[in-house]
Amino acid sequence: MSPSFLSRLARTSLCGVLALAPLAAPASAAPINDKFKSTVASFVSEHIDDWVAVYKDFHTHPELGLQETRSAGIIAAELRTLGFEVTEGIGQTGVVGILRNGKGPLVMVRADMDALPLQEKTGLDYASTVQTDWRGENTYVMHACGHDAHMAIFLATAQTLVDMKKDWKGTLMFVAQPAEEGGGGASKMMADDIFGKFGVPDYGFALHVGPSAYDTVQIVKGQMNSFAGGFDIVFNGIGGHGSRPSTTIDPVMMASKFVVDLQSVVSREKPEQEFGVISVGAIQAGSAGNIIPDTARVRGTVRWYKPAVGEKLLAGVKRTAEAIVAMAGAPDAEISVRSGGTAVFNDPDLSEKTLAAMSKVLPADKVYFAAPTTGSEDYGEFLKAFSNSVYFRVGVYDPALFDETGAPLDVLKVPGNHSPFFAPVPAPTIETGVTAMTTAVVNVMAK
Ligand SMILES: [Zn+2]
Ligand SMILES: [Zn+2]
């Protein structure tokens, strides 16, 4: 994308904002101006060292999903110190902080708290060496998805907003969510009736950090990521000696065929112009080279943008498994195919409005509309209750590592989320995140 294209986008979006009808609680004046920009910039530079220390502390002490008691405790204490009414234990380890500041909209800001079960290899002096129990096994733990940065930015944003209280009105709902990485944390908070207890937000904002330049913010207008489903299939065979396969029904053969044939569902059945992916991430069978085992287990993930594509892919997974069982003359398989995670949709008007505001505070050519990603994110569970929300992305690496289109010059130098080498540059990442999030919030709450 050329710089001129970026600035054209920014201009277009600004025009879009001027034409927008007011939403739930309209700002009475243009809130995001040079004064706001300089106030935020000086507050951020005054406090960035503290926030980096908070980030490094979270990074050194990662916790897996639904085990985030230390992180939740720090967040609850910090929010209380800032004057929020804090409720803990929403969705098991989740935290909700409410701050009332006059009549105005209810605005949710959400961060996730959980880390991942892998061993950190960054070599940083604040790297994690934590190990814990995970599903009955010991594992290393690392903040490899950047949720430590999300928590630091979340607390820094709360502090900045409290300092700027005279510039906005309404109620803040700061939500620290557990177990985003597959543990159903958002669903658990919804099951605990978060919005029944604290109100349905008029606006919602969340962010995710990732492997792009740390001075950039990307917003996707509309659907920003994929729906997620998965499968867990146990092929049942008849075990026996590896030298006499005719006396067995070999589940390893069935699993192998299944893994290969699945890809013809993607290449032959999915509409060519639509996005859809099926990936097998785990195969387990057998214990020795000369034993044909009696079971083989295959687990995988399915991602799509359009619901009809998801239905087709999931049906294809099930049909392929059943056909392989029939082909082998095997006993019935245990077939579990599920459609789980919902996609995140950004409200198009609020996306325009938020991008225009951020473009006044951050370099305009560094804040731009981007294409959807193929990942998933359970923030979408919250959007079953309201839709006026924007979830944006913030980069974490030195801009010198990217070309003018934002593409990495060497992909090996910019490890992505879930890599054991994922290593955001703390200060500039947090600066961009706090500035962008504070701008997004004040933009809809200005006096
Ligand atoms: Zn992740
Ligand atoms: Zn994540």
Architecture of domain 3-225+343-445: 3-Layer(aba) Sandwich (3.40)
Q: Are 366 and 217 in contact (CB under 8 A)?
A: yes
- Each residue's pLDDT, cut to its tens digit, for the chain (447 residues) gives 333 333 333 333 333 333 333 444 444 456 899 999 999 999 999 999 999 999 999 999 999 999 999 999 999 999 999 999 999 999 999 999 999 999 999 999 999 999 999 999 999 999 999 999 988 999 999 999 999 999 999 999 999 999 999 999 999 999 999 999 988 999 999 999 999 999 999 999 999 999 999 999 999 999 999 999 999 999 999 999 999 999 999 999 999 999 999 999 999 999 999 999 999 999 999 999 999 999 999 999 999 999 999 999 999 999 999 999 999 999 999 999 999 789 999 999 999 999 999 999 999 999 999 999 998 899 999 999 999 999 999 999 999 999 998 999 999 999 999 999 999 999 999 999 999 999 999 999 998
Residues with C-beta atoms within 5 A of ion ligand 1: 145
377 alpha carbon to ligand 1 midpoint, in Å? 8
Distant-in-sequence, close-in-space partners of 416: CB < 8 Å, separation ≥ 6: 210, 211, 422
The DSSP code sequence of 91-123 is TTTEEEEEEEESSS-EEEEEEE---BSS---S-
Query: 60 CA distance to ligand 2 centroid (A)?
Result: 17
Task: Judge whether 93 and 183 are in contact, CB under 8 Å.
Answer: no
Ligand nearest to the CA of 418: 1
- 3-class DSSP state for residue 83? coil
Q: Which fold has domain 227-339?
A: Alpha-Beta Plaits (3.30.70)
Interval between CA 113 and ligand 2 midpoint (Å) = 9
Tell whether residue 418 is among the known ligand binding residues.
Answer: yes
Distance, in Å, from the CA atom of 372 to the CA atom of 219, rounded to the nearest integer, reads: 9
Please report the pLDDT score of residue 255 as a whole number: 98
Residue 143 labeled ligand binder: no
Side-chain-facing half-sphere of 306: CA atoms under 13 Å: 9
Say how far apart CA 244 and CA 109 lie, in whole Å: 62
Q: How far is the CA of 358 from the centre of ligand 2 (A)?
A: 22
Query: What are the residue ranges of helices labelled H in 201-347?
Result: 251-264, 307-328
Q: How far is the CA of 209 from the centre of ligand 1 (A)?
A: 10
Ligand 2 centre and the CA of 418: distance in Å? 8
CA of 1 to the centre of ligand 1 (A): 27
In the three-class reduction of DSSP (H, G, I as helix; E, B as strand; rest coil), residue 352 is classed as helix
Whole-angstrom Cα distance, residue 22 to residue 44?
Answer: 30
Domain ranges for the chain = 3-225+343-445, 227-339
Identify the nearest ligand to the CA of 391 by its number: 2
Query: Could you list which residues have their CB under 5 Å from ion ligand 2?
Result: 145
Q: What's the 260 CA to ligand 1 centre distance in angstroms? A: 27
Task: Judge whether 231 and 302 are in contact, CB under 8 Å.
Answer: yes
Nearest ligand to the CA of 151 is 2
**Distance in angstroms (rounded) separating the CA atoms of residues 26 and 37:** 20
Closest CA to 385 of 191, 226, 172, 154: 191
What is the whole-number distance in angstroms between the Cα of residue 214 and the centre of ligand 2? 17
Give burial (CB, 10 Å; 0-12/13-18/19+) of 219.
Answer: buried
Question: What's CA 445's distance to the chain center, in Å?
Answer: 25
Whole-angstrom Cα distance, residue 444 to residue 447?
A: 9
241 annotated ligand-binding residue: no
